[in-house]
């Protein structure tokens, strides 16, 4: 009897263990929209499932046809949903507390948008220190080209 009981007990123990670990996986806390009274363009359940379709469709219309009033633009999502946390910091897109990344990390879906797009509203974009170095370089190049100018090629 114990011969059968032992593996069953082990199995039950393992199952209990695995369920308890599953329960411990933290569900993402999604940041609320900055304007509490504002309504999203679609109900929450619709946006949760299909937000990518809205963004993709309007991406092509904007890029190729110049249509710029789209309510479902990525910029509009970011503008409303990304804002500073309690410490007054706007976290980067690869942080789990970022509005998009919380769920994407939870669902294990890679997000490529922010390789190119701003991950925060314009007013929170950090200033780059490199722009001035470009300017210095340009001044040097211009000074150098003054000394030895190129010939006309027309």
Partner 1 sequence: MKDSKTTEEMNHSRREFLSKTAVAGTITIAPGVLLHSTAQASGNTSTKASDEEVSNKNRWGMLIDTAKCADGCTGCVDACNEENGLVGHDRPATDTQYIRKVTLKEKSTGHELSLPLMCQHCETAPCADVCPTGASFVRADGIALVDKHICIGCRYCMMACPYKARSFVHENVENQKLTAPRGKGTVEACTMCVTRVDNGGIPACVEACTAEDHNAMIFGDLNNPNSDISVALKEHGGKQLRPDLKLNTGVRYQGL
Minimal CA–CA distance to 97: which of 109, 82, 108? 82
User: Residue 140 CB, nearest distance to partner 1 (Å)?
Assistant: 9
Q: How many residues bind to partner 1 according to rule CB under 8 A?
A: 38
Site for partner 1 in 97-126 (CB under 8 A): 115-118, 121-122, 125-126
Site for partner 1 in 125-154 (CB under 8 A): 125-128, 130-131, 133-135, 137-139, 141-142, 145-146, 149-154
Cα separation, 31 vs 58, whole angstroms: 24
SS3 103: helix
One residue of 32, 48, 57, 68 binding partner 1 per CB under 8 A: 68
Nearer to partner 1, 3 or 126 (CB): 126
Cα separation, 142 vs 128, whole angstroms: 23
Q: At what angle do helices 74-81 and 44-65 cross, to 10 degrees?
A: 130
DSSP letters for 44-94 = HHHHHHHHHHHHHHHHHHHHHH-----TT-HHHHHHHH----TTS----TT
User: Residue 104 CB, nearest distance to partner 1 (Å)?
Assistant: 18
Minimal CA–CA distance to 77: which of 94, 60, 98, 97? 98
Is residue 57 at the binding interface for partner 1, with CB under 8 A as the rule? no
One residue of 8, 44, 64, 110 binding partner 1 per CB under 8 A: 64
Binding site for partner 1 (CB under 8 A): 59-60, 63-69, 75, 115-118, 121-122, 125-128, 130-131, 133-135, 137-139, 141-142, 145-146, 149-154
């Amino acid at each position: 009897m114990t011969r059968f009981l032992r593996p069953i007990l082990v199995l039950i123990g393992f199952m209990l263990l695995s369920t308890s670990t599953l329960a411990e996986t933290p569900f993402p806390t999604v940041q609320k929209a900055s304007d509490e009274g504002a309504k999203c363009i679609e109900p929450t359940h619709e946006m949760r499932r299909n937000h990518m379709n809205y963004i993709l469709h309007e991406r092509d219309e904007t890029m190729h046809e110049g249509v710029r009033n789209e309510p479902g633009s990525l910029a509009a999502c970011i503008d409303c949903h990304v804002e500073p946390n309690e410490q007054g910091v706007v976290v980067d897109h690869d942080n789990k507390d970022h509005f998009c990344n919380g769920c994407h990390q939870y669902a294990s879906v890679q997000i490529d948008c922010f390789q190119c797009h701003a991950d925060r509203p314009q007013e929170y974009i950090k200033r780059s220190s490199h722009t001035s170095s470009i300017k210095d370089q340009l001044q040097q190049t211009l000074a150098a080209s003054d000394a030895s100018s190129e010939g006309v090629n027309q």
